[in-house]
Amino acid sequence: MKQLAGLVEQALVDEVCLSPKPGLVDARNNGAHSDMDLALFIKSARALTPYFEQMAQAAWQQPISQTLRETIAHIGRKAEQAMFKETNGINTHKGAIWVMGLLTTVYAQRISTGQSIQTDELLKLVSCLAQFPDSRYQNKQLTHGEAVKQRYRVNGAYEEAVLGYPHISLALETYAKWQTATPQQYQLQMLLTLMSSVTDTCVLHRSDQGTLIEMQRLAKSASQTSLPNVSFVNLQKYCHQKYISPGGSADLLAASLLIIAVKRQFYRDKN
């Protein structure tokens, strides 16, 4: 399953290289981050590839089940350790490991049967897989995302998966609308769709609900016409001034790009 894992790596690289992105690390600058840059993200993405391949191998001709869920969770924790080792403790892709791991597992399971899969069915199976408990996991401390969820009573990465990634569906609808444009244009439009609709815990961790709402408003305004536009420039300035980075939206963009790539590579974009 090297091919599938390679598509995951490429989606992660494409996401970070997409420029310019409001508040996020890209090929032009480090956004709202002082401890991350483009080279670090690419290094991290490449370090994770063997673990996505392991997930794909584990899912080969296996049913969606509690056993499979715990197997890929174990691999995912090893991937996190490899990421932190490669980045000297910096969290570049923890959220991406979660969503990409689920997608890789379901894709590998379906590819092994020789069957194609519609996106809505893919996301339903991802939801099913995510709902199985990870009984081996012993959480010793509250993560930033979990703290934000408790404070603001909002959904996070886990709830997004259990719901079947509705925001990925929105991003793919945006792709369908803009797919004849350049990759930079349609990918930025997809990011804006996500930024305008996701309750991004990465933003809430650095700020508050008022800041998140204003970022969403600016992103929605920027998404109405081709880029660049005045609203997009204002959004970039706002993220810089508030020192916010929509990392959750970035993870979902990478996941959406993976779905597009898998359709092209394995299914010739027929579903």
The mean pLDDT value for 238-252 works out to 97
CB 247 within 8 A of CB 95: yes
Q: What are the tens digits of pLDDT across the range 188-210?
A: 999 999 999 999 999 999 999 99
> Predicted confidence band at 25 (pLDDT cuts at 50, 70, 90)?
very high
Average pLDDT, the chain: 95
Query: Is 64 or 271 the better-scoring residue by pLDDT?
Result: 64
Residue 271 has pLDDT above 50, yes or no: no
Residue 93 has pLDDT above 60, yes or no: yes
Structure tokens belonging to residue 23:
């508040």
pLDDT of residue 31: 95
pLDDT of residue 204: 96
Residue 104 has pLDDT above 60, yes or no: yes
Percent of the chain exceeding pLDDT 70 equals 98
pLDDT of residue 140: 63
Nearest alpha-carbon partner for 55 in 73, 67, 35, 39: 73
- In our burial notation (b when 16+ CB lie closer than 10 A, e otherwise), range 190-214 reads bbbbbbbbbbbbbbbbbeeeebbee
Query: Is 73 or 134 the better-scoring residue by pLDDT?
Result: 73
Entry pTM: 0.95
> Predicted confidence band at 236 (pLDDT cuts at 50, 70, 90)?
very high
Residue 85 has pLDDT above 70, yes or no: yes
Provide the 10 A C-beta neighbour count for residue 233.
Answer: 15
pLDDT of residue 137: 74
pLDDT of residue 130: 97
